Homo-oligomer: A and B are copies of this chain.
Amino acid sequence: MEKEVTIYDIAKQLNLSPATVSRALNDHPSINSNTKELITAKAAELGYRSNAFASNLRRQRTNTIGVIVPRLNSHFVSSVLSGMEKVANERGYNLIISQSQESVKKEKASAKTMFNGRVDGLLVSLAYDTEELDHLDVFIKKGIPLLFFDRVSTHTKATSVVIDNVKAGYDATAHLIEQGCQRIMHVTGNLKRNVYTDRLKGYKLALIDHNLPYDESLLMITDMSREAGIDVAQQISNMYNKPDGLFITNDLCAVSCMAALKKESFRIPQDIAVVGFNDDPVAQVIEPNLTTIHYPGEEMGEIAAQSLINHLNGLVNIQTTNTIVLHFELVVRESSVRTTG
């Protein structure tokens, strides 16, 4: 185990001051370019590696971005993280990732860790039932930039990166209506979260625009799990006045629901047309393939990270840009297409 090389070692060998070495290594303009070359060469020769802590300690920043997600093992989240990692890495930032496991309590704990870890900025997608945001307010109070993505908050003045969930909900519903559906059931998640309320809004607007009544008994709030999907199928099966369209705001849930419906010998899309949300890989595996909203996870991650880093570097002010809205796409597949209305 060799001992570490420091700028002092380099300075001594070259008969320079550590200050000069430090500046040279950081490409400071006031250092002569010959000196710089000399120093970088020597640094390479000695196998010098910068000590991030010393630097962080002195500069009071960490080059680290905290990320809090509801859970790690979902296709969408991991795509987002992949995008974030890509960008962060390119720009010299590290990512510290933590999952709330959909619990406020864990979310608070994670926030605290990030806070103590003195992340330079924080990227958050809220847990299922988070309401108060005190645990995140501390960041704002300390001037640590905070950016929400996907599951965002309306309360604070933090920037958000989202898709237009209202429009997505509208498009999904309108598509079903165009396919001749008259009674469209909407299965969604906790309405505390923007993604779900917004999609519901879109659903309602589409109904209105097409002169269809809004029937509260066709709205189901669930936890969007596989079990929930099966449960929904069961309920539909027991209904007297069955729906002929189904808009479920999560592909995994939609897929398990479809499987259950098929077991009950519903024909999809003839008896009931289905639209999901997220464009999870399973959407292209289920038969019939699931129509869904394609949701740019990777891109969302890239943009969220990009924005935060730009803000940190003083290029853009996050406080002014309040919401970044990304494009989504309705991907029509067999689960919703009726040859004849």
- By a beta-carbon cutoff of 8 Å, the part of chain A in contact with chain B is 1-2, 49-54, 56-57, 62, 64, 71-75, 77-79, 81-82, 85-86, 89, 94-99, 109-110, 113, 115-118, 141-143, 252, 255, 259, 281-282, 285-287, 297-298
Chain B contacts for A97, CB-based, 8 A: 81, 85, 95, 97
Chain B contacts for A297, CB-based, 8 A: 73
A-B contact pairs, 6 of them (CB 8 A): A53-B118, A72-B85, A73-B79, A73-B82, A73-B298, A74-B78
Report A197 CB to chain B, min CB distance, Å: 27
Flag if B50 contacts A53 (CB, 8 Å): no
Flag if A52 contacts B118 (CB, 8 Å): yes
Flag if B99 contacts A82 (CB, 8 Å): yes
Please report the C-alpha to C-alpha distance between residue A78 and residue B142 in the assembled complex, in whole angstroms: 32
Please report the C-alpha to C-alpha distance between residue A297 and residue B64 in the assembled complex, in whole angstroms: 27
A282 CB contact (under 8 Å) in B117, B142, B285: B285
Chain B contacts for A64, CB-based, 8 A: 96
Please report the C-alpha to C-alpha distance between residue A85 and residue B73 in the assembled complex, in whole angstroms: 11
Please report the C-alpha to C-alpha distance between residue A259 and residue B86 in the assembled complex, in whole angstroms: 32
8 closest A-B pairs by beta carbon, nearest first, are A53-B57, A73-B78, A72-B82, A1-B143, A53-B56, A78-B78, A53-B53, A73-B82
Report A39 CB to chain B, min CB distance, Å: 18
Flag if A62 contacts B73 (CB, 8 Å): no
Flag if B52 contacts A116 (CB, 8 Å): yes
A2 CB contact (under 8 Å) in B73, B96, B116, B142: B142
CB-based nearest B residue for A289: B259
Please report the C-alpha to C-alpha distance between residue A116 and residue B56 in the assembled complex, in whole angstroms: 13
A51 CB contact (under 8 Å) in B118, B255, B285: B118
Flag if A285 contacts B73 (CB, 8 Å): no
Chain B contacts for A78, CB-based, 8 A: 72-74, 77-78
Question: With A2-B142, A52-B118 in contact, do A95 and B94 touch (Cβ < 8 Å)?
Answer: no
A73 CB contact (under 8 Å) in B57, B75, B118, B252: B75
Flag if A99 contacts B85 (CB, 8 Å): yes
Flag if A115 contacts B49 (CB, 8 Å): yes
Flag if B286 contacts A50 (CB, 8 Å): no
CB-based nearest B residue for A64: B96
Flag if A50 contacts B116 (CB, 8 Å): yes
Q: A72-B82, A89-B98 are in contact. List 17 more A-B contacts (CB 8 A).
A: A1-B143, A51-B57, A51-B118, A71-B82, A72-B79, A73-B78, A73-B82, A74-B78, A75-B75, A82-B99, A85-B98, A89-B110, A89-B113, A94-B96, A95-B97, A255-B285, A285-B286
Most chain B CB atoms below 10 A, which of A1, A53, A259, A281: A53
Please report the C-alpha to C-alpha distance between residue A84 and residue B221 in the assembled complex, in whole angstroms: 32
Please report the C-alpha to C-alpha distance between residue A142 and residue B95 in the assembled complex, in whole angstroms: 23
Please report the C-alpha to C-alpha distance between residue A72 and residue B113 in the assembled complex, in whole angstroms: 23
Please report the C-alpha to C-alpha distance between residue A62 and residue B142 in the assembled complex, in whole angstroms: 23
